[in-house]
Amino acid sequence: MADQEDKEPRKLFGGYHEIVLLVLGFALTSILGGFIGAWFQQRGWDHQKAVEYSQSELSRASETFESLSRTLDRRLYRTRLVLWDYKSQDAPANKREEHKRSYSEVLNEWNENLNRNLALTERYFGTDMRSTLELVIIPKFVRINDFLQKERRYDSSIEDDATNLSYDIYAFNLGMLTRIQQRQIGNASQDGSSSPPGIFLAPSYSSEDIRITAPYDGAAVNPETHVEGRAPNPGSKIWTVVHPVGSPIYWVQGPADVDRNGTWKGSMSLEWPGHDLVGTAFEILSVANPRAQLTEGTKPSGWPDAEWRSQVVRVTVNAG
């Protein structure tokens, strides 16, 4: 009997072994359960905060869109009112003065909020959208305003600029709306995701680059049109070369001068003798400080070598 008792396993806590295990099990279960519960609760709070932040960002992005799109449309409309007054010459003097005054008001409002609008666009819609506003839309407004302030007369090319600007503003507004709908705003707008289909967004660029801002890549254009852009060196000349895709031909266009705002605009003729131009694709490149002399109408064997070169823009000739 004594030998059997000696062979029984010894309990760690002696006669209180079961009680101690029960207490330890309860304690561990309580602590571990509390930890797990707190972890799930924290995750729930974090998720709720993320949802609230996302809704807040969405609301602020929508407010930015409403304010910016309304300001752009108001400035464009009041610009056209002044242009139409110069065109018709029939508007009463008091109406003409009223239109000029309302144009000055919206111009002052725009200038007072310029940096704010750029910052908000970048903050909620990304660098590419801010670049579109800064490099495509604003320079066109500046060019039209400079003409109105200096010439004080009607010019059909300026009205064409206003029409093209209207298309740019529409695409810009659609781009902002698409990003709001897809919730690609705030930090999500900086993830490098592609632009919504059919919407031109100007890429970010170095201050040392030449950029073609119009026509945009993929545009349909008339055979006789304009090319415009930005360059870092006011006073220099920009040479544009056009190339019918699928041909060995490269045509040098007339030079364009870079104005004090760093923008330029020149005429462009899309030609391919012996071919139907409608539906033909052309590539466009602009350069400054070419290594070899360029002359309007000459045909180099390829894209000219130059100190500064733009991106290559591809367009298609329409029936226009």
Q: Could you give the CA distance from residue 209 to residue 181 in angstroms, rounded to a whole number?
A: 33
Tell me how far apart the alpha carbons of residues 57 and 69 are, in angstroms, rounded to a whole number.
18
The amino acid at 290? P
> Most distant CA pair in the chain: distance in Å?
129
DSSP secondary structure letters along 141-158? HHHHHHHHHHH-S--HHH
Locate tokens 């033909």: which residue? Answer: 280
Picking from 78, 83, 81, 74, the residue whose alpha carbon sits closest to that of residue 103 is 78
pLDDT at position 71? 94
- Average confidence (pLDDT) per 10 residues, the chain, 320 residues: 54 64 71 71 66 72 92 93 83 85 92 91 84 82 86 77 84 86 69 42 51 86 92 86 87 92 91 86 90 90 85 82
pLDDT at 186: 73
Give 137's DSSP letter: I
Whether 269 and 224 have beta carbons less than 8 Å apart is answered as yes
How far is it, in rounded angstroms, from Cα 130 to Cα 231?
Answer: 18
| 118: nearest Cα among 158, 182, 72, 79 | 72
pLDDT of residue 242: 94
Spatial contact of 200 and 171, defined as CB atoms under 8 Å apart: yes
Show Cβ contacts of residue 221 under 8 Å, excluding neighbours closer than 6 positions.
215, 270, 315, 316, 317, 318, 320
214 touches 227 (CB < 8 A): yes
Residue-wise DSSP of 185-233 = -GGGGGS-PPPPTT---PPP--TT--EEEESPTT-EE-SEEEEEEE-SS
Which two three-digit tokens encode residue 73? 């449309």
What pTM was computed for the model? 0.51
Q: Which two tokens stand for residue 92?
A: 């009463």
- Which stretches within the chain are classed as H helix? 2-7, 17-88, 93-112, 114-125, 127-132, 138-151, 156-181
What is the pLDDT at residue 68? Answer: 94
Report the 10 Å Cβ neighbour count for 101: 10
The domain locations on the chain are 61-190, 211-317
- CATH superfamily for 211-317 is Immunoglobulins (2.60.40.10)
DSSP reduced 3-state for 166: helix
**pLDDT score of 197:** 40
Per-residue pLDDT, 117:
92
